[in-house]
């Protein structure tokens, strides 16, 4: 792919929710909430790479320097892995994904950076390589795979670090309600809360339900999704870190509600529903309010497509 000397590229990467209950570190679902990045290649001598960000709370304070900005780090990681030279660029970032919320904001940044790393170097995006590079930076494959491919994604990471990912289209009638309590929860703390070993019965419990979840979606057996989202590997251990989470997970069935789970490492909760979105969102938020936490509710469709890249040519003068 030959690119002009002066050009810009725009990439859009969706948010994501991971685990979906029992599918710990293997299931991801892309959501229609986006990170958009415009990258302009700087051709003038002495130009320096930098980024400017805006959007949801905290976006404006994201690092501008290449050594600290996650998108630029992903671009550099990709270029170096491919043996390419990354030109100086200026990034204009619009971030609509709540940060540190369990909705894949860092995964979207990494995926956007990997896609741009290929593109600004004039190289066609390789899905296999992109999955590997994004997973190396994120530490796990579920969120980055969903952001890269869209829809429902089932992943595994092989011993050599390569990633296998299967993308499945999602039924349009099932929407997602993301409820984010106003609290800070670092992913490292949520990971540290997990035990190093789990009982055999708990492992079997999750294996059965993760497999059932994919089959239930494929066969339109939506009545089984609630059972398939029951987890024993991570949610019970993270519940003490998120006031109200245990109450949310114990909520009785509501009309239209298929199932509810912690979104990734949290603190957001994701509910899957066919109807009654407003009532479900309010009911989940009410559980957090009992513990003194206000919440933001997002009603989201599933993003059937993953990262999108387009070229913006500059007019010559």
Query: What tens-digit pLDDT sequence spans the chain (317 residues)?
Result: 454 455 799 999 999 999 999 999 999 999 999 999 999 998 888 788 989 999 998 888 888 888 899 999 999 999 999 999 999 999 999 999 999 999 999 999 999 999 999 999 999 999 999 999 999 999 999 999 999 999 999 999 999 999 999 999 999 999 999 999 999 888 889 999 999 999 999 999 999 999 999 999 999 999 999 999 999 999 999 999 999 999 999 999 899 999 999 999 999 999 999 999 999 999 999 999 999 999 999 999 999 999 999 986 654 43
Cis previous bond, 267, omega within 30: yes
Exposure pattern of 113-123 as b/e (b: 16+ CB <10 Å)?
bbbbbbbbbee
Structure tokens at 35: 């990170």
CATH topology of domain 175-300: Alpha-Beta Plaits (3.30.70)
**14 phi, psi to nearest 5 deg:** -80, 160
Exposure pattern of 196-229 as b/e (b: 16+ CB <10 Å)?
eebeeeeeebbeebbebbbebbeeeebebbbebb
Distance between CA atoms of 35 and 307, rounded to whole angstroms? 10
Structure tokens at 210: 């993760």
Structure tokens at 303: 């993003």
Report which of 99, 61, 59, 66 is spatially closest to residue 80, judged by C-alpha positions. Answer: 66
Segments making up each domain of the chain, as ranges: 7-169+304-313, 175-300
pTM value surpassing 0.85: yes
Using alpha carbons only, how large is the chain's radius of gyration in Å? 20
Q: How far is CA 75 from CA 39, 70, 111, 311, in A?
A: 11, 9, 9, 16
Q: What is the CATH code for 7-169+304-313?
A: 3.30.230.10
């Amino acid at each position: 792919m030959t690119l002009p000397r002066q050009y810009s590229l725009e990439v859009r990467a969706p948010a994501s929710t991971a685990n979906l209950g029992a599918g710990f570190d293997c299931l991801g679902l892309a959501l229609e909430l986006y990170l958009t990045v415009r990258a302009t290649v700087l051709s003038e001598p002495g130009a320096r790479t930098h980024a400017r960000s805006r959007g949801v709370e905290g976006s404006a304070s994201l690092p501008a320097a290449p050594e600290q900005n996650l998108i630029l780090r992903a671009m550099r990681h990709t270029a170096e892995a491919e043996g390419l030279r990354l030109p100086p660029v200026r990034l204009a970032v619009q971030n609509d994904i709540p940060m540190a919320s369990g909705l894949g904001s860092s995964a979207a940044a990494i995926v956007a950076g990997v896609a741009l790393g290929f593109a600004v170097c004039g190289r066609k995006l390789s899905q296999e390589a992109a999955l590997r590079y994004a997973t190396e930076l994120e530490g796990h494959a579920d969120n980055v795979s969903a952001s890269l491919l869209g829809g429902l994604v089932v992943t595994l990471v092989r011993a050599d670090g390569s990633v296998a990912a299967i993308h499945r289209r999602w039924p349009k009638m099932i929407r997602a309600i993301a409820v984010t309590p106003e609290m800070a929860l670092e992913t490292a703390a949520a990971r540290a809360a997990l035990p190093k070993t789990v009982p055999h019965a708990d492992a079997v419990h999750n294996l059965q339900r993760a497999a059932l979840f994919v089959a239930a979606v494929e066969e339109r057996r939506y009545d089984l999704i609630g059972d398939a989202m029951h987890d024993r590997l991570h949610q019970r251990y993270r519940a003490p870190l998120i006031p109200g989470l245990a109450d949310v997970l114990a909520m009785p069935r509501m009309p239209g509600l298929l199932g509810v789970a912690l979104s990734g490492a949290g603190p957001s909760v994701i509910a899957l529903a066919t109807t009654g979105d407003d009532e479900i969102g309010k009911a989940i938020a009410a559980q957090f309010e009992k513990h003194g936490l206000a919440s933001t509710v997002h009603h989201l469709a599933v993003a059937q497509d993953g990262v999108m890249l387009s070229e913006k040519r500059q007019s010559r003068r």
